[in-house]
Every structure is written in structure tokens, then in C-alpha cells.
Homo-oligomer: A and B are copies of this chain.
């Protein structure tokens, strides 16, 4: 009769021969999370075997190193003798089981505004005028700025109107905010004349088709002061790019859409101002990325020709404009830099994302995907880059799904379904009562429903199961993740057949895009060294589950890197440093675009991928393995 001691509780129990660690945990009156119902599928019952004799029936999701270190799944490990076992804190396990965000390009620790930042705040000392030196105010200022490498100064009328007073009020020692134009050495734009030193902040904005997100940054030290994200108010006028373009070409549609994205930006700004306590007047620089259609709508440029062969945007490289021209309610003369894109459907968000991912500086072959409405994919390395856009739709951003929501407080971000009871367990962002399901939660939920037989390979929900969770709802068949009494607003949170169809189409588009892009350069998915995943669809993505639904290819897990919102990250870097800004420009210039709508193989690949995980199950050997094991049991 093996004796087992559990730590950190230091409780020792004796159990029957052949018991699993899970059985021993129960005997000890302890608790290990087993949301999948001891099926060895969720990995939540992970324990550390410190000493003793055990036999692992399955090492699913454990690396060789994990096993050597003593990790074991409690439900899949049989006690063959005495043992000392440690139960790690649940939160630690939860984090370990998903692929955490691993920004390859963090805010540079070595941020040095002197060398990197184009916007500078300096105090100058101007000799006061005398009867003998009666040059005008502007000449005096220009002369003084010669000593600060400014040979040519642009001064907006608004500032010219304050110059006289500011010079005198500061006793000829004003603080100046200058934007140095790196394309024209010796040129600068005067952005502000200040009576005293004030915060110098910048706003990085990523305009997604579905989600708009922003970082407020301190340009003196590179710190993110506040962040916010919100659905793009344009969603009310169409969920994808094509419907937005069509709406924009109708009478007044363009100005309506431009108004809507401005409204969203204003709302983000309100949140950012509120949480950071920074005055909008101190935001003197704005850097913006988005796909070409989003950039066109933001700049209020007609996007019609983007949609029609030969798919021509008005701009890729947008000039600098002032915030007041673009109706961004920050400091009116804030310089707005719209980052450049590569092609009609691959924009600044992807240039910024590729830069943020570090794909273009590595010699390994990487596949980068921005999991957003557009589903842009980039393949390449330091020498070459090819790209396409696969129109995944907004499902992974929680839009177009009845109870979908952005990855914010209250979003269910991971789900486990008990294999026998079909009861779900979930984790909510912020550990609050659930309000909806975000992208990572939807991936997780769909994978669990598939693994437990709640949905079949075509995505149909089985209504014959012995559970109150599946039922015929208002929108057709559905599975209830959280009943009204558990939720924030007192309504059931469920996923419907229609939602599942949207999710399957979204993941199929991504998988088809991978295949077409890789084969366009004569390669196979197995040649890929790394898959870099960007997108703001969840705090953590469970790669295993993304593979189980056939969204990601079934290749070794360690090759996946989840990077979070790479577009906003790249945009933030461009806001901070002109070296990063230039890198993004050169990425935009370097990418070769492949138009999928002109590629028949895409549609074939898409159709084949519209199953769970795929029509060709042989493409997903580890998913097959689970099936086979379950069938065996």
C-alpha cells in the first residue's frame, strides 16, 4: 500500500496499489483542478513528483525536460510505491499551460530620447533685443536654434501668434518642443513654445477593422503610461473591410466611417486621460498604424479603388499632418505619423507587426500571422518577405459571435469541459464574473466541445446529449458556458451553431492562408522554424487548442510564439524611436504581396479546412493521437 506525502500541506496518506495520484489527492482531502474530468486532456492536474515510484500512462503536453524534472499529470500517473508529491499553485499551472505573450520587441530598455526621439523639449536662451540689436522675434529665435542644429525652422501660424508673448513671459528663455525631420537634416518644425517644462507624451494607435487600441507613452523615458482598446465604432457599418469599402462609396458613407473611427479614438483617449491623469495638451505626437482601408477611412480618403482590380490605394506612405487636421483631440499641433503599408491589403499594422515580431532580423524561416479580421500573414526571414491577407473575419476578436467580447476584464479566456458531465470550467480575465467570451476563450471552447463530442467535425452541436448545456436557443442550437446566475448581467453566456460556423470559417481562412503562402514560395509548413502569432484576441492563447481546431498547423509546440498586439507594439516603437520607424518603412518596401483573390488554390484550401480540425485528418497527427487514445479507453 503506497504512502504518499503531499507538499506544501505535508499530509501523508496511504492508498491502494494502482491508484493514480488523483485518487491519492482525493484521499488526502486535497484539491487538484481537473476540469476535463481526468481525461488527461486539460493538463490542469499537473504535479511535481519529488521522490518515489510512479508510472506515467500519458505524458501528453509534457516536454521531455518536464518529465525529467518530475512533472506528471495527476490523473494519468499511477503510484507504484511511496512517493513525495508537490502540488504547485493553480495559477502557476494555468500560466504554464498556455503560450504566454513573449514580445520579442519590448520597449527598449536602452531607450535614449536624445538619439531616438524626433520630438524634443529644450530650453533655449535668446539674447534680449536692444536698440542696437533690434532684429525681430522670429529671427532671434531662428538664430538661437542654429546652435541646436536647426538651420530651417517651420513655425505654424498658431505658434507665431504666441511667440511675442512667450518670449517675453519667459524672459527670453522659453521651452521649445521641436520635431526634427530626419529626412531633412537641419530642418525642424516648432510644435510648441512653453512657459515651463511640461510632460512630453505620445500616443500610439492601432486601428484594427474590429478593435482599435492605443498606448499613451512618456516620450522622456519610453514608459507606457496607459493603454486602452475598444471596438471600432465602424463595425455598425459592416464587419469586414469589403463591406466598409462598399459603405464608404455610398453617399456620405466615407465621412460617416471617418467620424466613427474618430469617435472611437476620442473614447480611447478619454479612458487614457482618465487613467493616466495626463492632459491631452501634453500629447504632442501621434503614431498610427492600420490596414490600408482603416488608414484610408481614418484619413478620410475614398477607399473604393482598393477593392477593385488592380487594387490601388491612394497612399502607402502618408505625409505628416497635424492632429487638428485629422480631428484628434490632443495638442492641435501634435505631429501625426501614419505608418506605411506594403500593399492594398497589407498595411502599416503588418509592417509594424513584422518589426514588432523580429521576423525580419532573424535567419530562421518564420511565419507571422496577425489574427485579426483581415488575417494578414507574412512569411520570410532577414532576406525576404512575402505576405498575403486571408480575410479571417472578426470572430477571434470576439465580434460576430453572440456572446463574444474583447479580451478585457470579464472575458472568459479559457474553458475546459468535463469529458463525462460535459460541465464547463472557465477562467475569466480579472477573476471577475463572466461577461462574455474573448478570442482565446472561443478557441479553447471550440476545442473542448470538439474533444468532448459536443460538436462534430462539421461543427454541428449535438442536442441528444445528457446535459442541460446543449439546447435549441433563440439563435438555433447552442451550448451554455455560463448560466445566468453566474454571469455579470444575469443572462446565459452561450455559443451558437452560427458562432461556431463563423469560428470555423475564420480558422479555415487562416490555415488556408498559411498553406497558400508557404507553397507560393515552394515550401511546406514543416519547413517553418517559427510561427509568430500577433493579435489582441486574448491575454493568453492555448496553442494546443488552436491546433486541435485546425487553426494552427500541427508542428512542435515550441515553435509557436504568441506576441500579443504586435501592431500596437511596433507602432509604439515607431513613436519612440526613429530607428524603429525607419525599420518599419523598409519592411513595408521589402514585402512582396500575393493577392489571394487571384489564387484559385486558396479557395480549395479554405474549403478543405472548413472541418474540425481539417478534411485531411492526417495533417493533425497529435489530434489523431488524442482521438485514438480516447477511443481505446
Chain A interface residues toward B at CB < 8 A: 129-131, 133-139, 154-155, 157, 160-161, 163-165, 168, 299-302, 304-305, 309-319, 321, 325-326, 343-344, 593, 595, 598
Contacts and interface: CB of A to CB of B under 8 A. Distances in A.
A302 B134 contact: no
Contact of A301 (B129, B164, B301): B164
A301 B162 CA distance: 8
A134 B316 contact: no
Given A131-B309, A134-B343, A343-B134, A314 B155 contact: no
Contact of A305 (B164, B299, B317): B164
Given A302-B164, A305-B164, A310-B129, A326 B157 contact: yes
7 contacts: A130-B310, A131-B310, A134-B312, A134-B593, A136-B313, A155-B319, A165-B302
Given A154-B319, A310-B129, A301 B134 contact: no
A584 to B, nearest CB: 17
Contacts of A129: 310, 312
A137 B314 contact: yes
Identical chains in the assembly: 2
A160 to B, nearest CB: 6
A138 B343 CA distance: 13
A136 B168 contact: no
B130 A160 contact: no
A168 B302 CA distance: 12
Contacts of A314: 136-138, 160, 163-164
A313 B154 CA distance: 18
A316 B160 contact: no
A212 B344 CA distance: 52
Contacts of A595: 131
Given A304-B164, A305-B168, A138 B317 contact: yes
B301 A161 contact: yes
Contact of A317 (B139, B165, B343): B139
A600 to B, nearest CB: 15
Contact of A313 (B137, B312, B344): B137
Contact of A157 (B157, B299, B593): B299
B160 A299 contact: yes
Nearest to A131: B310
A59 B135 CA distance: 53
A344 B137 CA distance: 11
A133 to B, nearest CB: 8
A187 B364 CA distance: 42
Contacts of A305: 137, 164, 168
Contact of A315 (B137, B312, B313): B137
Nearest to A326: B157
A300 B161 contact: yes
B134 A344 contact: yes
B165 A310 contact: no
A161 to B, nearest CB: 6
Nearest to A154: B319
Nearest to A319: B155
B312 A137 contact: yes
Contact of A134 (B299, B300, B311, B318): B311
A489 to B, nearest CB: 42
Q: Which 6 pairs across A and B sit closest by C-beta, in order of nearness?
A: A131-B310, A164-B314, A137-B314, A129-B312, A136-B313, A138-B315
